[in-house]
Amino acid sequence: MVRDIATEKGKDIDFEIQGNETCADKKIIEEIKTPLIHILRNAIDHGIESKEDRLLAGKSPVGKILLSAKQDDNKVIIDVIDDGQGFNLEKIKDRAVSRGFLTQEDIETMSDEAIMNIIFWPGFTTGDSITSISGRGIGLDVVKTKISQLNGKVKVISEYGKGSCVHIEIPVTLTTLRVFLVKISDQIFAVPIQVITTFILKKQDEIKTNNGTRSIVYNDKILPLYYLADILGLEPTPRGEKETVLIIESDEKSIALVVDKLLGDQDILQKKLSPPLYKVKNISGITNLASGELCLILNMQDILHYDFNKAITTGASQKLLPADVLAYKKILVVDDSMTTRTMLKNILMNIGYTVDAALDVTEAMVKLKLNHYDLIMTDLNMPKIDGYEFVERLKQDEMYSDIPILVMSSENKETAVKKLNKFGIEGYLQKDSFNQAEFVDLIKEILTKYHS
């Protein structure tokens, strides 16, 4: 892969691998493959300069990339090091502000290391153009997600003009995970212990509220405080005189989370979710407790990057009715006809759904990398990649196989449905006999089915 991409980019690269004898669980090795591919592709495309630029910078025209691995107690440390141009901290700052990821005030309060690691945020890219290799902002966020699912850590260390190192730490085995069990709204959840700084009790008068946002003081620092029940969409329980608070810290970000009760720590056997539950927000896996109960393991990376503006911080959330729940659903419409895209988008948005539109499969796949959708609507007759291949691709990918698909096309319904039935689509609508009322009812029926 390195050789092929280097040839495509017109670059000479000396690629070295060290630590071939390093051992880890087979599952770990399988899961780390995709992140390593993304990192290497970025190193070749973004990191290593052209031969001419390297000579002007006083470097050898041959770029160097080192992939090294070693075992340290119960973890494996993997480094991908290149002697390229490195990451431009100022460019990352400018891009983060100009693209709306952060405000200038946010940037000024962050350390250089925290700013550097913005590159792992979904949708962020420092590339000035989209190439066949990179620039879409859908690479390094995949790295972060995969490593987090393995209960690992990833960070980048870079010096502009000299090179970069992507540093990964992952467990040797996925067999056991040390967690702290907490109770929230009469349900038990497991919190990975490595992100927990401490537990504290806070009286209600020690919790301050400003513009709807709650906060507490811990170690002379003001930390935002949220109720885990609100984040997980659970029914709140009556509040007492004191709150049990977890101090969570990861990636130089600290928050305080309120739980109902602490149940103690233990080692658990972690099982990853499988389709159709592969992508459940805020959940990374499941385990069986000694009591025989099933317990969900919280994905603390999801929670730390949760849109806290959505969380109700009063501790007294109202229960959502089915109609309210449906209003939060997000739909992707894929059709090369601008008229059809606009019509469907307007109908759905007028009802209250959130809608994105894509003109072809390539654009749809980019949007799917960046967003979660509750329903996908697609045409069949599209350029380059048709709807049949698109549906097949989605159903064979564990990341998207659980998303319901509704097909709307001008093709003969009997012929099309016969081809599509093996993929398990939710419905087929004929364009030339489109009925808005039936369309709206079908959308609601599909979303209600998958919500319940």
- pLDDT over 70 percentage in the chain: 88
pLDDT, tens digit, 9 for 90 and up, residues 108-135: 888 888 888 888 877 777 665 444 444 4
pTM of the model: 0.46
What pLDDT, on the 0 to 100 scale, is given for residue 307?
66
pLDDT band at 174 (very low <50, low <70, confident <90, very high): low
Of all residues in the chain, the percent with pLDDT exceeding 90 is: 26
Over the chain, what is the mean pLDDT?
83
The pLDDT score that the predictor gives to residue 305 is 75
Calpha distance 405→408 (Å, rounded): 10
Model confidence band, residue 451 (pLDDT cutoffs 50, 70, 90): low
Whether the per-residue pLDDT at 418 is higher than 90: the answer is no
Task: Dump pLDDT digits (tens) for 131-157.
Answer: 444 443 445 777 887 787 777 888 899
Q: What is the pLDDT of residues 282-336, one digit of tens each?
A: 888 888 877 778 889 998 888 887 766 555 444 434 333 344 445 568 899 999 8
Give the Cα separation of 352 and 355 in Å (integer): 9
Residue 129: predicted pLDDT: 47
The confidence score (pLDDT) of residue 85 equals 92
What domains are defined for the chain?
A: 2-171 (3.30.565.10), 176-310 (2.40.50.180), 323-451 (3.40.50.2300)
SS (H, E, C) the chain: CHHHHHHHHCCEEEEEEECCCCCCCHHHHHHHHHHHHHHHHHHHHHHCCCHHHHHHCCCCCEEEEEEEEEEECCEEEEEEEECCCCCCHHHHHHHHHHCCCCCHHHHHCCCHHHHHHHHHCCCCCCCCCCCCCCCCCCCHHHHHHHHHHCCCEEEEEEECCCEEEEEEEEECCCCEEEEEEEEECCEEEEEEHHHEEEEEEEEHHHCEEECCEEEEEECCEEEEEEEHHHHCCCCCCCCCCEEEEEEEEECCEEEEEEECEEEEEEEEECEECCCCCCCCCCEEEEEECCCCCEEEEECHHHHHCCCHHHCCCCCCCCCCCHHHHHHCCEEEEECCCHHHHHHHHHHHHHHCCEEEEECCHHHHHHHHHHCCCCEEEECCCCCCCCHHHHHHHHHHCCCCCCCCEEEEECCCHHHHHHHHHHHCCCEEEEHHHCCHHHHHHHHHHHHHHHHC
Q: Does 249 or 212 have the greater pLDDT score?
A: 249
8 vs 101 pLDDT, higher one? 8
Q: pLDDT for 356-370, tens place per residue?
A: 999 899 999 988 888
Over residues 59-68, the mean pLDDT reads 95
Partners of 332 in the β-ladder: 356, 376
The closest of 290, 292, 238, 231 to 261, measured between CA atoms, is: 238
- pLDDT number for residue 318: 38
Q: Tens digit of pLDDT for each residue in 43-54?
A: 998 899 999 999
